C-alpha cells in the first residue's frame, strides 16, 4: 500500500532527533510528543530534546516480520529506557543477538526503517545500538 509523503514528512524531525514534549505546567516529559499532558491534562507543552542514550528495558528477536520488513529479518527489537526515564520502542542494530541483555547501555542512530516498494518513499528513523567505545 503506497503512502502519501505528508504522513511521514510530518513526523520526520521528531523521529530523526527524538524530539518529545515537556509539560509547561507539571514538568512531565513525553516521548512520543503529545498535545495534552496525560499527567495533569494541561495543553501547554514545550518541545523537549531527548539525549538519545539509554538502556535495554526488554527485548526480543523478531523472526516472523510483518509485510514490508522481510528484508532485514531476523532483527532485534527493544523497549529502551532513555536516560531521562521515558521508554521508547525501537529496533536494535549493529548488535550480536547473543550479547543482548536487559540493562545493556545503548545509543540512538539514524537508520533506514523501511520503504514503500522500489519506487516509493524510504522511511528513516531511530534505531539503537550498543554504545561504541569513545576515542
Partner 1 sequence: MQDVAIVGVGCTPVGEPWDKSLREIAVDSTWNALDDAGTDEVDGLIVGNMSSGNFIDQESLGSLIADYGGLGNISAFKVEGACGSAGAAFKAGVMAVASGYHDVVCVTGVEKMTDVVGNSATKILANACDREYEAIHGVTFVGLNAMIMKRYMHDHKVTREQISTFPVNSHKNGVKNPNAMFRREISLDTVLNSPMVADPLTVMDCAPICDGAASVILTTRERAREFTDTPVIIKGCSVKVDTIGVHDRATVTSMAATKAAAKDAFAQAKMEPKDIQTAELHDAFSIMGVIGLEDLGFVPAGKGAKFAADGEIAIGGKLPCCTMGGLKARGHPVGATGVYQIVELAKNIRGDGVIDVENGIAQNIGGTGSTVSVAILGRDD
Binding site for partner 1 (CB under 8 A): 11, 32, 38, 57-70, 72, 75, 77-79, 86-91, 102, 113-114, 123, 125, 127
Task: Encode burial over 48-86: b for 16+ CB neighbours within 10 A, e otherwise.
Answer: bebebebbbeebeeeeeeeeeeeeeeebbbbebbbebeb
What are the φ/ψ torsions at residue 52 (nearest 5 degrees)? 95, 5
Nearest approach, Cβ of 36 to partner 1 (angstroms)?
Answer: 13
Find the shortest distance in angstroms from Cβ 107 to partner 1.
Answer: 16
Nearer to partner 1, 48 or 59 (CB): 59
Q: Using CA atoms of 114, 96, 80, 68 in order, give the dihedral in degrees to the nearest 10.
A: 20
| Nearer Cβ to partner 1 (32/130) | 32
* Minimum CB–partner distance for residue 63 and partner 1 (Å): 5
Q: Which is nearer to partner 1, 77 or 135 (CB)?
A: 77
Contact at 8 Å (CB) between 98 and 82? no
Query: How far apart are CB 130 and partner 1 at their closest, in Å?
Result: 17
Amino acid at each position: 500500500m503506497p503512502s502519501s509523503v505528508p504522513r511521514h514528512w510530518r513526523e520526520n524531525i521528531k523521529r530523526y532527533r527524538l524530539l518529545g514534549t515537556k509539560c509547561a505546567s507539571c514538568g512531565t516529559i513525553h516521548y512520543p510528543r503529545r498535545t495534552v499532558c496525560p499527567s495533569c491534562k494541561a495543553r501547554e507543552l514545550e518541545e523537549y530534546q531527548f539525549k538519545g542514550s539509554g538502556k535495554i528495558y526488554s527485548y526480543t528477536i523478531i523472526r516472523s516480520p510483518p509485510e514490508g520488513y522481510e528484508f532485514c529479518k531476523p532483527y532485534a527489537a527493544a523497549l529502551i529506557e532513555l536516560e531521562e526515564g521515558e521508554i521508547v520502542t525501537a529496533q536494535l542494530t549493529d548488535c550480536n543477538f547473543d550479547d543482548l541483555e536487559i540493562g545493556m547501555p545503548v545509543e540512538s542512530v539514524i537508520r533506514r526503517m523501511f520503504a514503500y516498494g522500489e519506487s516509493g518513499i524510504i522511511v528513516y528513523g531511530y534505531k539503537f545500538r550498543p554504545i561504541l567505545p569513545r576515542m
